[in-house]
Amino acid sequence: MMNKNIKITIAGQVDYGKSTIVDLIKRFLRKEGFNVTFDPRPDFTAEVYFDMEMDKNRGLRTNAVKQQVKISLEEKQLCLKAIEK
């Protein structure tokens, strides 16, 4: 079976809740059985440190983002380059 990849990028300004959104998505997808990789740089040197920080006040972080940030989702289709013969 061909291994397919989807890349999810969370973009926004400093202190807009990007890490909180990444944490929510990452935890949800893993709970549902998805194979998720995560690169915590540049803010953290390892995923375990990211997780430890996100575990602190998760509810407060989530509520702050809910109240202050509008999230827009957009799907983009990428074209594969034709294989030259």
82 found inside a domain: no
53 found inside a domain: yes
55 found inside a domain: yes
**What is the distance between the alpha carbons of residues 26 and 58, in angstroms, rounded to a whole number?**
14
8 found inside a domain: no
**What is the distance between the alpha carbons of residues 66 and 74, in angstroms, rounded to a whole number?**
18
78 found inside a domain: no
Banded pLDDT at 78 (limits 50, 70, 90): confident
84 found inside a domain: no
pLDDT for 4 equals: 85
pLDDT at 42 over 80: yes
* Mean residue pLDDT across the chain: 90
pLDDT digits (tens, 9 = 90+) for 11-29: 999 989 999 999 999 999 9
Domain of 32?
A: 18-68
Radius of gyration, alpha carbons of the chain: 16
Q: Note the pTM of the prediction, 2 decimals.
A: 0.83
**What is the distance between the alpha carbons of residues 27 and 23, in angstroms, rounded to a whole number?**
6
**Number of domains observed in the structure of the chain:** 1
The stretch 70-82 carries a mean pLDDT of: 84
